[in-house]
Amino acid sequence: MSIKISETLIFECETGNYHTFCPISCVAWLYQKIEDSFFLVVGTKTCGYFLQNALGVMIFAEPRYAMAELEEGDISAQLNDYQELKRLCLQIKKDRNPSVIIWIGTCTTEIIKMDLEGMAPKLEIEIEIPIVVARANGLDYAFTQGEDTVLAAMVHRCPNQENLITNKQKIKENKSKKTLSSFIETGEKIDISIKNSVNKIPLVLFGSLPSMVASQLSLELKHQSINVSGWLPAQRYIDLPVLSNQVYVCGVNPFLSRTATTLMRRRKCKLIGAPFPIGPDGTRAWIEEICYVFGLQTQGLEQKEQKIWENLKNYLDLVRGKSVFFMGDNLLEISLARFLIRCGMIVYEIGIPYMDKRYQAAELTLLQATCKKMCIPMPRIVEKPDNYNQIQRMRELQPDLAITGMAHANPLEARGINTKWSVEFTFAQIHGFANAKDVLELITRPLRRNNNLENLGWTNLVKKG
Amino acid sequence: MKLAYWMYAGPAHIGTLRVASSFKNVHAIMHAPLGDDYFNVMRSMLERERDFTPVTASIVDRHVLARGSQEKVVDNISRKDKQERPNLIVLTPTCTSSILQEDLQNFVDRAATTSKSDVILADVNHYRINEFQAADRTLDQVVRYYLDKANRKGNLDISLTKKPSANIIGIFTLGFHNQHDCRELKRLLKDLGIEINQVIPEGGFVENLNKLPKAWFNLVPYRETGLMTAKYLEKEFGMSYISTTPMGIVDIANCIRQIQEKINIWAPILLNKKMNYESYIDEQTRFISQAAWFSRSIDCQNLTGKKAVVFGDTTHAASITKILACEMGIRVSCAGTYCKHDEEWFKEQVQNFCDEILVTDDHTKVGDMIARVEPSAIFGTQMERHIGKRLDIPCGVISSPVHIQNFTLGYRPFLGYEGTNQVADLVYNSFTLGMEDHLLEIFGGHDTKEVITKSLSTDTDLTWSSESQMELNKIPGFVRGKIKRNTEKFARQNSITIITTETMYAAKESLNA
């Protein structure tokens, strides 16, 4: 099998037999991001077992998520779904008193056609806590797309300008019944958000980022005199941003196409299609695109990017000319590949679970431009990859680095192929100028390890035959 | 519906996959949605497997939901058959696929006609049995399949081996210290002059299963998995089995005496002599294993009457309870297991060795019990270790579910005479650590707790704004000091006196900190 590398971007589609995380894993980072939320995953033991093992230590930290574990009686409809969910949600309300409960629908609720969307509004009135339904199941989605379904569902809950104040007051009253301190806290927050919302052109950014990274990106835009009027999601559910047809929205992650669509179609927001702020090149392009839409001249951006690249010199020396193979599992692949090509690496293949060419259009264009600029052949983009075929291709290409899931990492390492677990890119801070280093820190880790272990003579650790 | 945060035993298909992937050259195909192949990650990470886990998924997606799997499963089976040439392909249903109620048996029958591999459908009900029961059942199913096949073909070998021999049944992947236990059992049997006929499923070939009946007896070290197979072999071929777990000095002796009994059924005829292992037991107990001496030593005297709680799977919880109570004189306040399906056996085993018995798979009940009993040490799973952390009680891990640190590289059996040493160390270390902690608290610790110079920076010339101070506090503690120092260094270099959040980011960018 020989691999042709062409001048234009090639899109392929394979069998979809690949390894990735179940989209319900999004609760892992979302429950931490949205501080007053509670995630209830309505599924079976299989879902629970996955979460428990994938989240490792987090499970012991009294997380704000739980399984509503379906039993035989639920599957065969001997038990009343509504009553069962009501019982569990009341329990959650009693124990944790969250500002929102998010139901995560799973494969099982899809198959038995449990009407979560139908039940939620009724139950919401009954228990007086908002219930948001997201169908983050493995039948339809992969890994990070789970966040996409949750955020898309949250779009409907974002206040309009008019109902903002009344809504907040309602929540405030509810909360004040419970504790005095939360009352004071929400009171303060309202003042700030009202102040912020009287901004010339409102810009809402969507995508869940650690609060540090979010404020870094906001600050970058502030340097260009752009005030970010809100984030979806905000640190707390009660601080969801105001949306209207006046609002511009821009994504920070490549896997948020449903959220983008929902923002445009349901809330009539104006989407700014930009590359994603991953890597200094991506960050600059992202800011430039927003500035362009707002009719602003960027200031000092080029020098800033230049400076970041200079600071990365040591890492760039390590990666230059090395080849990468993305097996594909978290949809960050295009942006990461684009950044790595700009760093001087050669990308053989970009595996990706799902490719939204419209939502990622600007990113794809930048990828193409980057390839031309660096005089590197365009990589092939393989949607719904087949891991077995990919391993055959890798055997032939012998890339310097494979970016892959944990199921394949150790076996590939044993066969002398360096790997980096793709999951780490989802949890590490990779956005903005300041974090470009973190990406390269991850990428070069196996390469640096090799420099340390070189000449020991045991790269291949599997028995022949 | 049940509100659950944590489960002790996994779903059924995990049991099936553990058995299937333990055999050599057996491939499992899960009928599952995307993301359900998490088993591969566990095996690759926890067992640090060098080889690709022989498990793939025939993906159930939206199309399958609408139109059924149609040719997909059959195609996936034949494809795997051509790619890897396995001896056996096990089609594994998951909780999702079992509600779809597709006729998987039909797919298996169709695939079997064209593929060179044997193909079977794992017969497990997801909503009724857990990981352990499924593993037990799948092992039984595979063994039956190959013995039936051999019987039909007429190549079933039921002649006994010349020398005494045994099958070890139930060693498999992701089992708690199974690899080490297996090595220890082999050594024990070798010491007794008994050959190993086969170890299943770990490292076994399904093609050799027809020689299983050649062994003189079967040894089932773990209660959870292997008993079904052993009972089947007893019924079908009259093979007797031993299910006493050789953990702890007393039970090892029991197990060896039972072995002696089984051997001596045939030994007078086939070997012209009777075997007697008493001197071996005595020598090992008194001088080779250190555990018997340890329980006499004054160290162990200090443990007398101390309170402990035990929780785990039936095998380990029962054995450890007996070891603590009978061999070390420790008071077991509560012994418990999460294997509800084997409740009766467990109660019968431990009832005379502990104050109370707890059978539950709800970790909050276990936590409440521990908080109420306030033991000096806990012996449990990873969950109990974390409960212990919260309550400041030391914990020794004695059973699954476990983390990667329990897949040790070093030799750590729980079974056999070396196992007794390991268990003694584990028990003793848990208690002394607890004791030490306690003493430190009473006497105010080794050292003054306050370190006087926490950082190298002097705080006088720089001011942190309230936002940047808050931002700094968000940074995890273990790197906070470093970031603070670097930011201040940067501020001084640039003659900044008030540190804002912007200064922090600028510092990060410039220093690569």
Integer Cα distance of A205 and A227 in angstroms: 11
Which of these, B418, B420, B425, B399, lies nearest to B346 by C-alpha position?
B399
pTM to 2 decimals? 0.87
Integer Cα distance of A246 and A201 in angstroms: 7
Cβ-based neighbour number of residue A4 at 10 Å: 7
- Of residues B184 and A4, more confidence is placed in B184
Q: Say whether pLDDT at B447 is over 80.
A: no
Residue list for the binding site of B? 36, 434-435
Which of these, A241, A239, A266, A238, lies nearest to A156 by C-alpha position?
A266
Degrees to nearest 5, angle at CA B206 with B201 and B211: 95
**Residues of chain B found within 8 Å of residue A433, distances taken between Cβ atoms:** 509
- Of residues B342 and A189, more confidence is placed in B342
**Residues of chain B found within 8 Å of residue A138, distances taken between Cβ atoms:** 32-36, 96
Q: What is the pLDDT of residue A174?
A: 54
CB B198 within 8 A of CB B204: yes
Q: Say whether pLDDT at A3 is over 50.
A: no
Name the percent of chain A lying above pLDDT 90.
76
Which residues on neighbouring strands pair with residue B27, listed in sequence order? B89
Q: In this complex, do A216 and B505 lie within 8 Å of one another by their Cβ atoms?
A: yes
Interfacial A residues in 4-23 facing B (CB < 8 Å): 16-17, 19-23
Q: What is the pLDDT of residue B157?
A: 86
Distances (CA, A) of B186 to A32, A66, B165, B189, B262: 49, 43, 11, 5, 17
- The residue with tokens 């739980």 is A66
Chain B residue at shortest CA distance from A304 = B509
Integer Cα distance of B371 and B447 in angstroms: 30
Q: Which of B38, B61, B501 sits opposite A54 (nearest CB)?
A: B38
Residue A84 contacts B where some CB pair is shorter than 8 Å? yes
Q: In this complex, do A140 and B2 lie within 8 Å of one another by their Cβ atoms?
A: no
Q: What is the pLDDT of residue A188?
A: 40
Q: In this complex, do A44 and B126 lie within 8 Å of one another by their Cβ atoms?
A: yes
Average pLDDT, stretch A31-37? 93
Q: How close A99 comes to chain B (CA, Å)?
A: 19
Average pLDDT, stretch B90-104? 90
Neighbouring residues of B361: CB distance < 8 A, sequence distance ≥ 6: B7, B8, B9, B338, B340
Interfacial A residues in 53-82 facing B (CB < 8 Å): 53-54, 56, 59-60, 63, 66-72, 74-75, 79
By annotation, the residues of B acting in catalysis are 299
Average pLDDT, stretch B376-402? 92
DSSP state of A415: B
Interfacial A residues in 173-232 facing B (CB < 8 Å): 211-212, 215-216, 219
Q: In this complex, do B5 and A66 lie within 8 Å of one another by their Cβ atoms?
A: yes
**Residues of chain A found within 8 Å of residue B403, distances taken between Cβ atoms:** 56
Task: Tell whether residue A22 is among the known ligand binding residues.
Answer: yes
CB A86 within 8 A of CB A68: no
Q: What is the pLDDT of residue B438?
A: 65
Average pLDDT, stretch B42-46? 90
Structure-token pair, residue A451: 């420099």
**Residues of chain A found within 8 Å of residue B1, distances taken between Cβ atoms:** 42, 68-71, 74, 79, 84-85, 87-88
Degrees to nearest 5, angle at CA A317 with A311 and A322: 130
Average pLDDT, stretch B161-169? 95
| Range scoring the smallest mean pLDDT among A459-463, B11-15, B347-351 | A459-463
- Of residues B462 and A91, more confidence is placed in A91
Average pLDDT, stretch B321-348? 95
Integer Cα distance of B179 and B171 in angstroms: 7
Average pLDDT, stretch B432-453? 55
Q: How many CB pairs lie under 8 A apart between chains A and B?
A: 178
Q: What is the pLDDT of residue B434?
A: 63
Chain B residue at shortest CA distance from A47 = B36
Q: What is the pLDDT of residue A63?
A: 80
Q: Say whether pLDDT at A197 is over 70.
A: no
Chain B residue at shortest CA distance from A212 = B471
Average pLDDT, stretch A59-85? 86
Q: What is the pLDDT of residue B66?
A: 85
DSSP state of A242: P
**Residues of chain B found within 8 Å of residue A31, distances taken between Cβ atoms:** none
Integer Cα distance of A89 and A93 in angstroms: 6
Distances (CA, A) of A109 to A41, A89, A115, A116, B96: 10, 17, 8, 8, 9
Q: Which residues of A229-238 are buried (b: 16+ CB within 10 A; e: fewer)?
A: bbbbbbebbb
Q: In this complex, do B505 and A434 lie within 8 Å of one another by their Cβ atoms?
A: yes
Structure-token pair, residue A285: 């392009």
Structure-token pair, residue B231: 């009972």
Q: How close A39 comes to chain B (CA, Å)?
A: 11
Rg (CA), chain A: 23
Q: What does the pLDDT look like over A216-266, one tens digit per residue? A: 999 999 999 999 999 999 999 999 999 999 999 999 999 999 999 999 999
Amino acid at B9: A
Average pLDDT, stretch A16-41? 93
B297 confidence band (pLDDT: 50, 70, 90): confident
Query: How many Cα atoms sit within 13 Å of B495 on the Cβ side?
Result: 0
Write down the mean pLDDT value for chain B. 90
Q: How close A377 comes to chain B (CA, Å)?
A: 31
Q: How close A281 comes to chain B (CA, Å)?
A: 15
Q: What is the pLDDT of residue A1?
A: 41
Q: In this complex, do A87 and B1 lie within 8 Å of one another by their Cβ atoms?
A: yes
Q: Which of A74-83, A429-438, B298-307 has the highest mean pLDDT?
A: A429-438
Q: Say whether pLDDT at A195 is over 60.
A: no
Q: How close B84 comes to chain A (CA, Å)?
A: 11
Q: What does the pLDDT look like over A316-358, one tens digit per residue? A: 999 999 999 999 999 999 999 999 999 999 999 999 999 999 9
Q: What is the pLDDT of residue B450?
A: 41
**Burial class, B512, CB count within 10 angstroms (exposed 0-12 / middle 13-18 / buried 19+):** middle
Which residues on neighbouring strands pair with residue A10, listed in sequence order? A380
Q: Domains of chain B, with CATH numbers?
A: 12-129 (3.40.50.1980), 165-288 (3.40.50.1980), 292-443 (3.40.50.1980), 463-512 (1.10.8.550)
Q: Domains of chain A, with CATH numbers?
A: 23-141 (3.40.50.1980), 203-294 (3.40.50.1980), 301-456 (3.40.50.1980)
**Residues of chain A found within 8 Å of residue B7, distances taken between Cβ atoms:** 45, 48-49, 52
CB B34 within 8 A of CB A99: no
CB A160 within 8 A of CB A242: yes
Q: What is the pLDDT of residue B341?
A: 94
Name the percent of chain B lying above pLDDT 90.
68
A172 confidence band (pLDDT: 50, 70, 90): low
B342 confidence band (pLDDT: 50, 70, 90): very high
B482 confidence band (pLDDT: 50, 70, 90): confident
Q: Say whether pLDDT at B454 is over 70.
A: no
Q: What is the pLDDT of residue A400?
A: 95
Q: Is the ipTM of this complex over 0.90?
A: no
Amino acid at B198: Q
Q: Which of A50, A82, A107, A114 to mutate to test the interface with B (most CBs of B within 10 A)?
A: A107
Task: Tell whether residue A107 is among the known ligand binding residues.
Answer: yes
**Residues of chain A found within 8 Å of residue B389, distances taken between Cβ atoms:** 60
Average pLDDT, stretch A103-131? 94
B55-59/A10-13 β-pairing: unpaired
Calculate the CA dihedral of residues A384, A385, A387, A393 and round it to 10 degrees: 180
CB A346 within 8 A of CB A3: no
- Calculate the CA B166 to chain-centre distance: 24
**Residues of chain B found within 8 Å of residue A315, distances taken between Cβ atoms:** none
Average pLDDT, stretch B382-398? 91
Q: What does the pLDDT look like over B279-291, one tens digit per residue? A: 999 999 999 899 9
Helix (H, G, I), strand (E, B) or coil at A4: coil
Q: Say whether pLDDT at B46 is over 60.
A: yes
Q: In this complex, do B65 and A50 lie within 8 Å of one another by their Cβ atoms?
A: no
Q: How close A163 comes to chain B (CA, Å)?
A: 30
Cβ-based neighbour number of residue A288 at 10 Å: 17
Q: What is the pLDDT of residue B444?
A: 53
Q: Which of A25-34, A261-270, B455-464 has the highest mean pLDDT?
A: A261-270
